[in-house]
Chains A and B, each alone.
Chain A
Amino acid sequence: MKKIMLVDDSAMMRTIIRNLLEGDPQIEVAGVAANGQEALDLLAEAKPDLILLDIEMPVMTGLEFLPHARLKTKAKIVILSSIAIAGSEAASKAKELGADAIISKPSGAVSFDLAEKRGSEIRQVIYEQLSLPMN
């Protein structure tokens, strides 16, 4: 089972994503952090294989976290952010800093059975990054 760490300052987003992933038998949410610093503190304990990382966060942003992650963990980093849109500076910067993939946050999907729709999308990216066989 692969370990995932969620890093987002939005409690709602953390909850949604956690709920999305928790049912997956191949994935375990091993840690949840509200910003980059919390994530760093949690790294040694959580030992994640992949980190879902928001960008816009207090204390330490996702972009500030990326260089640390690059040196301190072998985990894949997937940016999950609404500002890392294609062509944006944030997206380019995230790639430059070593993000392995960038996906946008789910939008308006709560009411449309998020688990089935956007969840599968996010999962697919996670699977790709972790080389997990698709169900």
Chain B
Amino acid sequence: MSDEMEEYWQLFAEESEDALNNSEEALVQLASKPDDTEQIATLFRAMHTFKGSSRMMGLCGIESVSHVFEDIVGLVRDEGVPLTKDIHSLLIRTLDILRDKLEQVLEARSDPGVHQEIYDELKKMYVIKSGKAPAAESEAIDLPVIPEPVQPDTSSVDAETVITDAAVETNNLSQIEPAESVIEEMPLTDNTEITESNHEQVASSSEVEVSTTTETTDIQPQATTEDTAATQANVSTKNDTSESESCKSLAEDPTYVKIFMDMAEAELEKLSEAMNQYAEQEPESVDSIKNILDTLHHAANNMGYVRIVAQAEEFLDVVNDPEKQVNKDTIGHCELKLREEIAAILNVVHIAGEEQIKDDMVHARKVSSIFLQSYAKHNDQNLLQLNQHMDGIAKEIEDLISGVNINKKSTHAAPCSKLLRNVYHACVFYDLDRASQLTLALEDLYSRINQGELVASRELVDLTRRYIGCLEEAIRAKQEGREPELAGIDILLEETRNKAFLVDENQVAIVTHQVLGLLDIPEGFYEVITPENTLDLSRSLAEEEHFYTILADIESDENIGMGFYKWSSSEGISLVTNITVYQDNKTLFQFLLTSPYPEDIIQEELRKIDSSGKYLQLRACEVRLDIPESDYFPEENILECSFIEDANPTEEPEIKIDIMEAVGQLVTAHAGLVHLTNRLTSTDLSEIVNKQVQLAGNDLYRARNLITRALEAWNEEITNQLSQVCNEFAANLEQFRETALLLQDKPVTPLIENLQKVIQETAHHHDKKVKLEFKGNDILLDYKLQAIFQEPLQRLAWLIVTHSLEDRQARLEASKPVSNKMTVEFSKHDDHARISVTDDGAGFNDDIITNELPRITDPLGAKNGKLVHESSENLNEYNLILPLTSMVIDGMVVRVGSIRYVIPIKAIRRIVTSDPNQFTVCSNKNNEKVFRMEDELILLRDLSSGRSAEIEKLIEKKLADKRTPTPENIHENNLHEINKQTLPKQSDATTAQEPTGNNNKTIETDTLQMLVVVEKEHSTLAFPIDELIGQQQVLVHPLQGYLSDIPGMSGCALLGSGEVGMVLDVNND
């Protein structure tokens, strides 16, 4: 016996002994615990090994017995057959017999033959327990005849050992090609696939080819050459297809996903080490990186993770290119992107559990733990670099302040932003929630600086440095298992958030809430909204978009999740932000989005994704109009009325949107203004000066030039920006005011309808026929005025119909048409609204006028209105008049003493100096002196008491000095007439100081006072003023309470300066 064979026998002896021992031990264990799956598996495996070894040695007798033994254990292991006592007992007996047989074999080194009795018992047991013949049956029945060895023929396949894939996959033995037919008809070429082994039954029973052929004669060779070739071709093709299909499906298989996760984690760990080595320029690091990338590429490719594959390829491309290798940033960037792609997949897996993962969802998720861990590891380095960049930014600030690089963009902001992003991942890893928020807030600031939206400040640098210190301490505490001190981080977070909103201190809340407060959205959004979000919301308001929240369960059903993500990025849908909502042990997301589409369309779209409506719950956010005005508009009262119950709701949405648009623009303009103010206040001009002085050394001339240039540059920039912001603000404010006024104006339809009803019923009751006509019924009128008009108007109508209109008989007697004619006309004038009611009836008698009309005039009078009654022979006219509650007028703002007045521009005839030479006393009228200026008769009036009397005296005195006052004495140049279209916007004190001509040398210039000449009803009045402030458009509010008694004033207005001005009533005297 050759040494080799001796070695095999030795191995067989050892392995068989072990197998039988293991089998026995397992059976002993199973005697007390027959359902012990581990022991059943051990028993199966041991007998399987024993069988295989026996077969290998050609010991068919013991192999066939052990094979049926294995089949029975297989029934227990795989098919739920209980290990009953009879089975157990039989197996124990079999084991004893096998031991005996093994001893014989090892002694004789030959096959001892089968133990037929035990074999039959085993076979019977198998049939009983399974209801089918054992797999090993043929082996036992046809006891092996040791065949003649056949010399191998490597030119053709050892065909009985080959079966096609089709045979395997269809599980149909009839498709197994008989060996000879295959050999004859299908000689293998290099391209022919050998994919399967021989059928074990055949092989084991026949040993080798010759007998196999005879044993399988019942299997008819049906395949033709073409069929076989086709089968082969199919095998090959199918392999390709199945590879492709399996690639798609691997990501859906939890087993593969888990393997990939573990593997990727390990490979990323290795990658970290390799990258460290690369940083230290260790030559073998490149190969290590390549190997890792190759491994990841292969695995990701098989999984179908195309993004990882692409990223690994990009990374490999860089690593393989010596030129690209030089740039460490490029390699670092590749690493970052690869990690992010893998981390995203892994995190989706963590979140989705065993559910299917789709590539589309990858970017909707946060990074995973492996990714975070990696950044946690490098956090110290990131913080160190961040600190170094702070030095750079501090230097940039110094340059900026000194005026050297006033327009230069920061080169440190972008790296800071990137580093902060890395640090954020570390914060998440260490579960430092507030620090994560703080980091993101800072990241936001630095990316704004990078984009030029914000200017870095010393304060920010200081804040960032404090942040680094706090974070280092917090992470250290976490690493040491201590509870970190987070108070400092909380304070910094607040400071940073304030910064992030571009405004100081409490302005943050005001600006944010001005926008957010208008939307009926869950409180949670207030916490996550960013300055960008706020501006986005403002813009959406301005564009009249709709606001929605969607409570989305996007993880329970992957198709819905996918569908939602796809939809949310479609045109017309803007996701603003989202918050996490925990509900019934589920993590849901609530999205805030804007869209021009109305609710029904959005709802319809969502139903396409989630037909049940369970996973995507839409809620339209209404624009809140019940906000206390003091919360948002502390200075002006103009929105109050618009929020009161609406008489005509159909008009409201459009107006609401207008006002929202105006508010949005105001908020935006306000943020810009505050930002500019911050710049102004935070800039220390003395530093600019000092810097220039230092630069100039002892050269004072140069210092002066440098300082001048620096200050001029600064001044120009600020002036330009300020001018731009102020203009925008003024324009926005103007639009806001106009829109606000529109809110108050409503159609008079309700007034008309009620009036018609009163007239109709009353006329019917008195049997009077009325032909009613309305004029001006399409005007819009302040709804408050309409409410005031309502009762007096109806009462007047009732009175007219009852007492003035005539019945048929009376009208016939008076030779009038049978129908009374009654006309109601609505009109709106500059400062008042009027309803004229005319009728062609008999008019009122004195009793009615005395007793009833006060019931009409009193309510009007209470609101500064009145009833004007005019009757002629054939027509009675009643005018109900009310001053407009709020109106915008172009006014000239003037100052008299400390009081501001607004004089309506339309009433101003001219503005002149009180040069007595211009005047002549014409007459006295009701003890008032009437002066004449040019061709006009002018009455002097006071806005504040006493001024006109002084001027009167002055004029009279000067006139008395003149012997023969004639118009020729009036020097034309002394008249400073200012056309009202070109009125100065600023106070013009020089007007009063100009020379007034030779004839006036005796008049002291300081005694001259400006007069505003106003046309009021049928008189021309001149009002002395101290200062002409300028023209403004103002919103006039009516005077109320005791102020309503102030004569000559129609209301008050809030001026641009923030002061209140009294508005001159140019209609009433």
Contacts and interface: CB of A to CB of B under 8 A. Distances in A.
B15 A107 contact: no
Contacts of A27: none
Contacts of A70: 250, 256, 302
Contacts of A134: 154-155, 190
Contact of A84 (B42, B60, B173, B197): B197
Nearest to A107: B55
Contact of B151 (A11, A15, A87, A116): A116
B32 to A, nearest CB: 22
A98 B52 contact: no
Contacts of A120: 152, 154, 158
Contacts of A68: 259, 263
Interface in B161-183: 161, 163, 165, 167-169, 171-173, 176
B190 A131 contact: yes
B11 A128 contact: no
Nearest to B155: A134
Interface residues of A, number: 57
Contacts of A125: 194
Contacts of B900: none
A108 B55 contact: yes
Contacts of A71: 256, 259-260, 263, 298-299, 302-303
B146 interface: yes
B199 A12 contact: no
Contacts of B59: 108
B53 A12 contact: yes
Interface in B582-641: none
Interface in A4-46: 9-13, 15-16, 19
B711 interface: no
A116 to B, nearest CB: 6
A124 B322 CA distance: 42
Contact of B196 (A86, A121, A135): A86
B484 interface: no
Contacts of B200: 82-83, 85-86, 88, 104
User: Of residues A80, A95, A109, A121, which shows the largest number of chain B Cβ atoms within 10 Å of its Cβ?
Assistant: A121
Contacts of B207: 107-109, 112
Interface string A80-111: 10111111100110010010111111111111
B45 A58 contact: yes
Contacts of B48: 56, 82-83
Interface stretch (B1-9, B330-338, B679-687, B722-730): B1-9
Contact of A15 (B8, B60, B173, B303): B8
Contacts of A112: 58, 149, 207-208
Nearest to B52: A82
A124 B196 CA distance: 12
Contacts, number: 184
A91 B8 contact: no
Contacts of B196: 86, 91, 101-103
B49 A10 contact: yes
A16 B57 CA distance: 11
B22 to A, nearest CB: 10
Contacts of B57: 108, 110-111
Given A82-B51, A110-B5, A56 B246 contact: no
Nearest to A125: B194
Considering residues B7, B157, B208, B263, which has the most beta carbons from chain A within 10 angstroms of its beta carbon?
B208
Given A58-B45, A110-B57, A86 B52 contact: no
Contacts of B151: 116-117
Interface residues of B, number: 70
Contacts of B155: 134
A110 B171 contact: no
Contact of A86 (B146, B199, B256): B199
Contacts of A103: 161, 196-198
Interface string B454-476: 00000000000000000000000
A110 B152 contact: no
B158 A109 contact: no
B149 A117 contact: yes
Given A83-B200, A110-B57, A15 B260 contact: no
A68 B199 CA distance: 27
B204 A9 contact: no
Interface string B110-148: 000000000000000000000000000000000010100
A83 to B, nearest CB: 7
B7 A15 contact: yes
Interface string B824-861: 00000000000000000000000000000000000000
A102 B195 contact: yes
B154 A11 contact: no
B700 interface: no
A13 B52 contact: yes
B954 interface: no
Given A13-B52, A104-B203, A116 B152 contact: yes
Nearest to B18: A11
Contacts of B705: none
A71 to B, nearest CB: 4
A91 B197 CA distance: 9
A16 B52 CA distance: 12
A88 B15 CA distance: 26
B183 to A, nearest CB: 13
Which of the listed residues A74, A98, A105, A120 has the most CB atoms from chain B within 10 Å of its own CB?
Answer: A105
Contacts of A110: 5, 8, 56-58
Interface string B636-679: 00000000000000000000000000000000000000000000
A128 B161 contact: no
Nearest to A54: B52
Contacts of A11: 11, 14-15
Interface in A112-132: 112-113, 116-117, 119-121, 123-125, 128, 131
Given A91-B196, A110-B58, A104 B161 contact: yes
Nearest to A12: B11
Given A67-B255, A108-B55, A131-B190, A87 B295 contact: no
A124 B990 CA distance: 114
B58 A108 contact: yes
Contact of A111 (B5, B161, B167, B173): B5
B154 A135 contact: yes
B168 A91 contact: yes
B12 interface: yes
B864 interface: no
Contacts of B282: none
Interface string B49-70: 1011101111110000000000
B145 to A, nearest CB: 11
Contacts of A135: 154
B150 interface: yes
A52 to B, nearest CB: 12
Nearest to A68: B259
Contacts of A117: 149-152, 208
Interface centre among A9, A70, A100, A124, by most chain B C-beta atoms within 10 angstroms, is: A124
B25 interface: no
B259 A111 contact: no
A63 B468 CA distance: 52
B193 interface: yes
B194 A105 contact: no
B201 interface: yes
Given A72-B263, A108-B146, A86 B176 contact: yes
The 3 closest A-B pairs by CB, nearest first: A108-B58, A103-B197, A85-B200
19 contacts: A10-B53, A15-B7, A16-B8, A71-B259, A73-B298, A80-B197, A83-B48, A84-B197, A85-B201, A86-B199, A86-B200, A87-B172, A104-B198, A107-B207, A109-B56, A117-B152, A119-B152, A121-B152, A128-B193
Given A100-B195, A123-B154, A124-B194, 18 more contacts: A9-B49, A11-B14, A13-B52, A67-B256, A71-B256, A82-B52, A82-B200, A85-B200, A86-B168, A86-B198, A87-B172, A103-B161, A105-B52, A105-B56, A110-B56, A116-B151, A121-B152, A134-B190
